[in-house]
Amino acid sequence: MNQAGANAPGLVVTGTTHLEGQVTWKPVTSYVSIPAAAFRPYVDGYSFTNSGPSLTPSNASSSNYLAEVQLPHGATITRFTFYWTDGATLNGAASLYRINLDGTESIMASAATSGGGPGSGTTSSSSDTAISYPTVDNSQYAYYVWLTLPVDADGAVEAHGVVIEYTIDRPY
């Protein structure tokens, strides 16, 4: 019987426990959300509006933004989703990068906007499930998301956020 008095499989421990070896469990799906408010301009001097729920560049010279990402070591990234509103003829994009601590970077996933154009203001999301280098290795890499938000005569691409889905099979 467990502590509640029910017959159920499981282990109930009261007090201090020490285990030899590795503790694992069935992989579980989890998420890291990066809101628009977390992104900062690539360079100083950009003209943009970041209201918290959306990031909108004001001109074509203010189109690139980045945000750091903290993922659990050993996690396997399974999906990268970008939430956006596209009012521009040009498409925007969000990309997940890993950077070796000597400065070499690799793109892991990318998701683009679509459906913009004169007066459209299409709000949607796009995802990438073909993840390159899907296993998170915090001992050798750091991670960030790069946004490209174009502005043209028809309008701008707004970012609302990014969600990174992953599985993990160990404590973190």
Q: Tell me: the pLDDT tens digits for 22-62?
A: 777 899 999 999 999 999 999 998 999 999 999 999 998 89
SS3 state of residue 37: helix
Residue 85 has pLDDT above 90, yes or no: yes
pLDDT value of residue 152? 84
SS3 state of residue 36: helix
93-102 pLDDT tens trace: 999 999 998 9
105-118 pLDDT tens trace: 999 999 999 876 67
pLDDT band, residue 7 (cuts 50/70/90): low
* Average pLDDT score over residue span 3-28: 77
Q: Whole-angstrom Cα distance, residue 49 to residue 64?
A: 13
Determine contact, residues 58/142, Cβ cutoff 8 Å.
no
In 3D space, the residue among 117, 106, 110, 122 whose CA is nearest the CA of residue 147 turns out to be 110
Per the structure block, which two tokens stand in for 91? 């498409």
pLDDT band, residue 171 (cuts 50/70/90): confident
Determine contact, residues 47/57, Cβ cutoff 8 Å.
yes
Higher pLDDT, 170 or 41: 41
Determine contact, residues 49/110, Cβ cutoff 8 Å.
no
Q: pLDDT exceeding 90 applies to what percent of the chain?
A: 66
Q: Where are the domains of the chain?
A: 28-168
Q: Is 21 exposed, middle or buried (0-12, 13-18, 19+ CB in 10 A)?
A: exposed
The 10 Å Cβ neighbour count of residue 14 is 6
What do you get for the CA distance between the two ends of the chain, in Å? 29
The 10 Å Cβ neighbour count of residue 70 is 10
pLDDT value of residue 154? 79
For the structural domain made of 28-168, what CATH number should be given? 2.60.120.260
Rounded to the nearest integer, the mean pLDDT of the chain is 90
pLDDT value of residue 1? 47
Q: Whole-angstrom Cα distance, residue 70 to residue 38?
A: 12
Residue 123 has pLDDT above 50, yes or no: yes
Q: Whole-angstrom Cα distance, residue 105 to residue 100?
A: 6
Residue 15 has pLDDT above 90, yes or no: no
